[in-house]
């Protein structure tokens, strides 16, 4: 039975009013990711959920067209200067396409893309949502990394087609999210089989079974496979997604089945630790320490607790029950940022003699689901410490201690 602290952790929203944030990504374009995002959102809604969509493809927005939302009509603002999302089929939607007409491209550098992305998620009056779906651009670039580092994602769904080249690139996208410890909720294989509407014969235009093989090889759930359906394209072009326009069609029913499988995966995607900004000296904003979440089969790379054991020691509790007590000076010396380590050769640039014995952090910040960032009192604040690196640092410290004995 879950303890009160665990129940409290599980009931907290990812953002105020939003229970889960789910990214929908792909390694390459042209696999139908945006179509999947829209219809999956509508299918979740059919299951009784309140859903919103962020068109996170800032430079190539397509969601307004698929939902029949006019482009170039900026949303109104609340008295708190938050965007009021557009609504269509009871879905709440925000997209760059609402700010710019179809024939006027958004020409933006990386930092501005990140700024708009953050505004579209945190600067919107979403109200109460069960799911906020983020339709990502293809690839593994700035948008994906910004989200992984700054947003409390519940997980990501990877969309692919059965053809080999799509599977290979989708695998890269999946590995990128694994690296930053975003839970892979599952794979959706799109455009699997085409059924001739005249003779009923089926043809695997892009091959068959690639999704199953990828699922088995990587140990990731296959949420479902969608057929090639001309009606999906026609409905999307008309701004009437097939789940809403033809709810009894084979494709619409398959989307509902996928949504049900996704909901089941979400039940195992609860993270114990929530985003934090921790003042080291005052201990204000200290993250949780949930010993009851430890289990023998738990991950060695997922922390379930951070603690200020004493002014010189950071304690970390891992999901497998192991605890590391890390010396602050050793942590400062272990920084892997480009200022402290020569990026190409790995040569150490930080002189240990310049690091004082009483070095300590002013603040410790969570970075997505995979790392923490220290704001040190010597002015250094560019080093991100992944959970993998912290676990390895703990192992080295333990081995060094046993040798001293």
Of 238, 266, 294, the position where a domain reaches its end is: 266
Check residue 87 and give its pLDDT.
95
Q: Around Cβ 212, how many Cβ atoms within 10 Å?
A: 14
231 in the same domain as 167:
yes
Q: What is the CATH number of the domain that holds 127?
A: 3.40.50.300
Check residue 1 and give its pLDDT.
34
- Model pLDDT for residues 120-163, shown as the tens digit of each residue: 999 999 999 999 999 998 877 778 888 888 888 899 999 988 87
Q: Return the biggest CA–CA distance within the chain.
A: 80
Structure tokens at 67: 């939902």
Round to whole Å and give the CA distance between 330 and 384.
Answer: 15
Q: Which of 130, 133, 191, 186 is nearest to 162 (CA)?
A: 191
Tell which wins on pLDDT, 61 or 10: 61
Average pLDDT rounded to a whole number, residues 276-286:
95
Quick check: 205 pLDDT over 80? no
Provide the pLDDT confidence category of residue 2 given band limits of 50, 70 and 90.
Answer: very low
Quick check: 17 pLDDT over 70? yes
Check residue 201 and give its pLDDT.
65
Does residue 1 fall inside a structural domain?
no
- Is 0.85 surpassed by the pTM of this model? no
138 in the same domain as 261:
yes
244 in the same domain as 310:
no
Provide the pLDDT confidence category of residue 204 given band limits of 50, 70 and 90.
Answer: low
Round to whole Å and give the CA distance between 366 and 373.
Answer: 6
Does residue 5 fall inside a structural domain?
no
Does residue 171 fall inside a structural domain?
yes
Quick check: 8 pLDDT over 50? no
230 in the same domain as 296:
no
CA 222, 227, 230, 236: dihedral to nearest 10 degrees?
Answer: -20
Q: What is the CATH number of the domain that holds 368?
A: 3.30.2020.30
Quick check: 108 pLDDT over 90? no
Of 217, 237, 266, the position where a domain reaches its end is: 266
HSE-up of residue 11 (Cα within 13 Å, Cβ side): 7
Tell which wins on pLDDT, 117 or 210: 117
Q: Can you give the residue range of the structural domain that contains 285?
A: 277-404
309 in the same domain as 160:
no
Q: Which of 14, 73, 218, 307 is nearest to 64 (CA)?
A: 73
Round to whole Å and give the CA distance between 263 and 130.
Answer: 11
Check residue 112 and give its pLDDT.
84
Of 245, 266, 287, the position where a domain reaches its end is: 266
Does residue 3 fall inside a structural domain?
no
Does residue 8 fall inside a structural domain?
no
Does residue 6 fall inside a structural domain?
no
Provide the pLDDT confidence category of residue 166 given band limits of 50, 70 and 90.
Answer: confident
Percentage of the chain modeled with pLDDT above 70: 90
144 in the same domain as 50:
yes
Quick check: 59 pLDDT over 80? yes
Quick check: 6 pLDDT over 60? no
Check residue 192 and give its pLDDT.
77
195 in the same domain as 333:
no
287 in the same domain as 175:
no
Provide the domain count of the chain.
Answer: 2
Does residue 218 fall inside a structural domain?
yes
327 in the same domain as 206:
no
Quick check: 389 pLDDT over 70? yes
């Amino acid at each position: 039975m879950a303890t009160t602290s665990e129940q409290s952790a599980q009931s907290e929203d990812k953002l105020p009013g939003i229970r889960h944030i789910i990214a929908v990504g792909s390694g390459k374009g042209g696999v139908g990711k945006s179509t999947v995002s829209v219809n999956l959102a509508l299918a979740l809604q059919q299951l009784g959920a309140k859903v919103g969509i962020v068109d996170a493809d800032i430079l190539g927005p397509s969601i307004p067209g698929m939902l029949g939302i006019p482009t170039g009509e900026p949303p109104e603002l609340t008295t708190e200067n938050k965007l009021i999302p557009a609504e269509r089929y009871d879905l709440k939607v925000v997209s760059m396409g609402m700010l710019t007409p179809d024939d006027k491209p958004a020409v933006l550098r990386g930092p501005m893309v990140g700024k708009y992305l953050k505004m579209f998620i945190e600067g919107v009056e979403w109200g109460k949502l069960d799911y906020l779906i983020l339709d990502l651009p293809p690839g593994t670039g700035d948008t994906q990394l910004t989200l992984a580092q700054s947003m409390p994602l519940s997980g990501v769904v990877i969309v692919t087609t059965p053809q080999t080249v799509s599977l290979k690139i989708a695998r890269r996208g999946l590995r990128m999210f694994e690296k930053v410890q975003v839970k892979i909720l599952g794979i959706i294989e799109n455009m699997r089989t085409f059924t001739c509407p005249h003779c009923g014969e089926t043809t695997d235009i892009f091959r068959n079974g690639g999704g199953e093989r990828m699922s088995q090889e990587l140990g990731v759930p296959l949420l479902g496979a969608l057929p090639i359906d001309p009606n999906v394209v026609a409905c999307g072009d008309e701004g009437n997604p097939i789940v809403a326009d033809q709810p009894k069609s084979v494709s619409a029913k398959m989307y509902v089945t996928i949504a049900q499988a996704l909901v089941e995966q979400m039940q195992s995607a609860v993270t114990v630790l929530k985003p934090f900004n921790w003042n080291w000296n005052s201990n204000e904003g200290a993250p949780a320490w949930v010993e009851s979440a430890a289990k023998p089969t738990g991950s060695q790379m997922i922390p379930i607790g951070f603690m200020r054991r004493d002014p010189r020691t950071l304690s970390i509790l891992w999901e497998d029950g192991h605890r590391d007590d890390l010396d602050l000076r050793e942590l400062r010396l272990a920084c892997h940022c480009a200022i402290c380590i020569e990026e190409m050769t790995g040569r150490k640039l930080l002189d240990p003699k310049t690091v004082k014995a009483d070095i300590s952090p002013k603040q410790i910040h969570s970075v997505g689901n995979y790392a923490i960032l220290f704001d040190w009192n010597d002015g250094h604040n560019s080093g991100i410490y992944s959970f993998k690196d912290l676990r390895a640092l703990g192992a080295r410290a333990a081995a060094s201690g046993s040798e001293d004995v």
